[in-house]
C-alpha cells in the first residue's frame, strides 16, 4: 500500500512529557559521549501492546529518547545518590544496581552512592535498617547472584518520613527499582518532594517478573523467567509421556497477566493447553477443559497444561483478602484443576497420572541470562544519564528496541495485559491447538492433533 505524502499517522492523546528540576547548566564531561538533544523524541507505534487505550486503529506517540545530555543539572562532585529495591525478587536486580553504581562512579564521578536496605522500610528510622555504601568494589561481583544485595520488602511507607530521610542524608538522586506498587510509591514521593520545593530527582527502573507494567514492552528478568519456565515445562512433558494418560501441569507466575505462560508456550511447542488470567474458561461441558483434555488423552495418551497463577479465578470463591502490596490474594487454581481432572477421569473409569510442577520461586531467584544482563546494564546507565540531567518522576524502559523516558503517570495508570486480539495471542493458540476466543475452548483448532 502506498502512503500519500500528506498522510500522517494518528497520534495517541497521552502526556509523555518528562519533569525536570530546573535548567541544566553544567557542561558534561562524560567520556565517549554523543549527547542527545534534550528535547529529542521518537515516534513509536503503541497499538499492539496498549490495546486497552485504543479503538482498533494503529496509533503512535512521541517519547523522549534516553541517553546522556550535553549539560547536567547536578554537579557530580557534590551529588549523592541512593538506590532502593522493593517488592518481589526478579532476575537482574543486582545487575541494575551494579550498572548504576559503575556509571555514577566511573563516568560521572559522583561523590557517593548509598544502598537503602530492605525496601522502603530502610528509610524509616523505627525499623533500624543500616544504610550500605555502594562502591565499585562492593558491587563488582553481585551480578553473579540472584536476588538483591540490598534486600527488599513489600508494603507502603510514609512519604513524609521517606523524604525526611532523603533530606537528612543529603540525597540528590533516588533510584527506585520495583514494580507497579513501587512506581505508585515513587509518584507519591515525587509529590512530597515538590510540596517541599527541594531538588531531589526520582528515577524508576521498572521491575516485574509478570511483565505487567503499562507501556513497558518487556521488563528485565522476563527473558530469564521464560527460559527457566521452559525447563519446567519440558520436565512436565517428560513426566506426561512416560505414563499412560500422563498429564503434566506447570504453574507459572502471572497474577493478572499471562505473559510468561504465553511466551514459554511459544518457546517450547510441547504445551497443549495454556490458561491465562485474560481469558476465562469453562471446566465442564462440550467446550470445557475437561472434555477437551479427555479428547487429547484419547488421541495421544499424554497432555501438558500451563497455568498462569491468576487464571481461572472466576471458578473460585473470592475472599477479599489482600497481600502486603495491596494485591488480591489469589485462589489456588491448580488445586481446583487437579481435583476436577482426577474426579472427572475417575468418574469416566479412565486411569490418569497427573504430575504438578510449581517452579515460581526458583524462577524469580536465579541470576539473569545473557540477554537480561545486557538489558539491565543499559537500564542502569540510562537511569544515571537521566538523573544527572535533572529528570524526575520518570522511568527508563526499552520500547520497541529504543530506550526512552516515560513519565510515572503513564506507567501507573493500569496493569499491562495480554492483548487477546493480537497476532501474538493468535500464535499462542496456533502453537497449542486450542481456541480460547470468547472465553471458551472451541473446535476451530484441535489440541488432539498437535505434539
Q: Torsion angle, CA of 94/100/106/111, rounded to 10 degrees?
A: -110
Q: How confident is the model at residue 39 (pLDDT cuts 50, 70, 90)?
A: confident
Band of the pLDDT at 450, cuts 50, 70, 90? Answer: low
What integer is the mean pLDDT of 256-266? 96
CA distance linking residue 286 with residue 283, whole number of Å? 9
446: number of Cβ within 10 Å: 15
Please give the Cα distance from 321 to 332 (Å, whole number). Answer: 14
Give the CATH H-level superfamily of domain 225-365+420-449.
Phosphofructokinase domain (3.40.50.460)
Task: Tell me if 19-219+368-411 shares its fold with 225-365+420-449.
Answer: yes
Q: 19-219+368-411 belongs to which CATH class?
A: alpha beta
Pairing of strands 201-206, 353-357: unpaired
pLDDT band at 438 (very low <50, low <70, confident <90, very high): very low
Backbone angles phi, psi at 335, to 5 degrees: -65, -45
Q: Please give the residue that has the higher pLDDT: either 87 or 2.
A: 87
Percent of the chain whose predicted confidence (pLDDT) is above 70: 91
**pLDDT at res. 447:** 55
2 has pLDDT over 50: no
Q: Which three cell numbers stand for residue 166?
A: 532523603
Mean pLDDT of 274-303: 94
CB neighbourhood size of 141 (10 A): 11
Say how far apart CA 163 and CA 169 lie, in whole Å.
10
Summarize the confidence of residues 421-435 as an average pLDDT: 88
pLDDT, tens digit, 9 for 90 and up, residues 124-161: 999 999 999 999 999 999 999 999 999 999 999 999 99
Identify whether 210 is a catalytic site residue: yes
Contact yes or no for 297/246 (Cβ under 8 A) = no
Task: Give the pLDDT of residue 435.
Answer: 64
pLDDT of residue 1: 35
Higher model confidence: residue 212 or residue 55? Answer: 212
**Could you say which of 49, 95, 210, 212 is catalytic?**
210
Ordered by start, the domain boundaries in the chain are 19-219+368-411, 225-365+420-449
Are residues 211 and 258 in contact, defined by beta-carbon separation less than 8 angstroms? no
Confidence of residue 423 (pLDDT cuts 50, 70, 90): confident
- Nearest one of 168, 173, 187, 183 to 216, comparing CA atoms: 183
Task: Annotate 427-446 with three-state secondary structure.
Answer: HHHHHHCCCCHHHCCCCCCC
Instruction: Return the C-alpha torsion angle 249, 250, 254, 256, nearest 10.
Output: 0
Q: What is the pTM of this model?
A: 0.92
Return the pLDDT at 7. 61
pLDDT reported for residue 446: 54
Greater confidence (38 vs 115) lies with 115
Q: Are the CB atoms for 16 and 61 separated by under 8 Å?
A: yes
Question: 89-120: per-residue pLDDT in tens?
Answer: 999 999 999 999 999 999 999 999 999 999 99
Closest CA to 211 of 13, 424, 434: 424
Q: How does residue 341 score in pLDDT terms, banded at 50, 70 and 90?
A: very high
Amino acid at each position: 500500500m502506498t502512503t500519500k505524502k500528506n498522510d500522517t499517522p494518528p497520534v495517541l492523546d497521552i502526556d509523555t512529557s518528562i519533569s525536570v528540576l530546573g535548567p541544566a547548566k553544567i557542561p558534561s564531561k562524560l567520556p565517549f559521549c554523543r549527547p542527545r538533544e534534550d528535547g529529542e523524541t521518537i515516534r513509536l507505534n503503541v497499538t499492539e501492546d496498549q490495546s486497552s487505550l485504543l479503538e482498533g486503529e494503529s496509533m503512535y506517540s512521541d517519547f523522549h529518547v534516553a541517553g546522556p545530555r550535553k549539560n547536567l543539572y547536578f554537579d557530580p562532585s557534590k551529588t549523592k545518590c541512593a538506590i532502593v529495591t522493593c517488592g518481589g525478587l526478579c532476575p537482574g536486580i543486582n545487575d541494575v544496581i551494579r550498572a548504576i553504581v559503575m556509571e555514577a562512579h566511573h563516568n560521572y564521578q559522583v561523590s557517593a552512592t548509598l544502598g537503602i536496605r530492605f525496601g522502603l522500610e530502610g528509610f524509616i528510622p523505627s525499623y533500624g535498617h543500616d544504610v550500605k555504601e555502594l562502591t565499585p568494589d562492593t558491587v563488582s561481583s553481585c551480578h553473579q547472584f540472584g536476588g538483591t544485595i540490598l534486600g527488599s520488602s513489600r508494603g507502603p511507607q510514609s512519604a513524609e518520613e521517606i523524604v525526611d530521610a532523603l533530606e537528612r542524608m543529603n540525597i540528590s538522586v533516588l533510584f527506585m527499582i520495583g514494580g507497579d506498587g513501587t512506581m505508585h510509591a515513587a509518584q507519591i514521593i515525587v509529590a512530597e518532594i515538590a510540596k517541599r520545593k527541594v531538588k531531589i530527582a526520582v528515577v524508576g527502573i521498572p521491575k516485574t517478573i509478570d511483565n505487567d507494567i503499562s507501556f513497558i514492552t518487556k521488563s528485565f528478568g522476563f527473558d530469564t523467567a521464560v527460559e527457566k519456565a521452559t525447563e519446567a515445562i519440558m520436565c512436565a512433558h517428560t513426566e506426561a509421556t512416560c505414563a499412560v494418560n500422563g498429564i503434566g501441569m506447570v504453574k507459572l507466575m502471572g497474577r493478572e497477566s499471562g505473559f510468561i505462560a504465553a511466551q514459554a508456550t511459544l518457546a517450547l511447542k510441547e504445551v497443549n493447553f495454556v490458561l491465562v488470567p485474560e481469558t476465562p474458561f469453562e471446566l465442564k461441558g462440550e467446550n470445557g477443559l475437561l472434555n477437551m483434555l479427555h479428547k487429547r488423552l484419547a488421541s495421544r495418551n499424554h497432555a501438558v497444561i500451563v497455568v498462569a497463577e491468576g487464571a481461572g479465578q472466576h471458578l473460585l470463591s473470592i475472599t477479599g483478602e489482600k497481600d502486603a502490596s495491596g494485591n488480591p490474594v489469589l485462589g489456588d487454581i491448580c488445586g481446583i484443576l487437579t481435583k476436577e481432572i482426577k474426579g472427572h477421569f475417575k468418574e469416566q473409569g479412565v486411569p490418569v497420572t497427573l504430575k504438578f510442577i510449581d517452579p515460581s520461586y526458583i524462577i524469580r531467584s536465579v541470576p539473569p541470562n545473557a540477554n537480561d544482563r545486557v538489558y539491565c546494564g543499559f537500564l542502569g546507565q540510562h537511569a544515571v544519564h537521566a538523573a544527572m540531567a535533572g529528570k524526575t518522576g520518570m522511568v527508563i524502559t526499552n520500547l520497541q528496541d529504543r530506550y526512552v523516558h516515560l513519565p510515572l503517570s503513564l506507567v501507573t495508570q493500569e496493569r499491562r495485559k495480554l492483548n487477546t486480539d493480537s497476532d501474538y495471542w493468535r500464535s499462542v493458540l496456533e502453537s497449542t491447538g486450542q481456541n480460547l476466543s470468547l472465553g471458551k475452548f472451541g473446535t476451530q483448532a484441535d489440541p488432539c492433533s498437535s505434539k
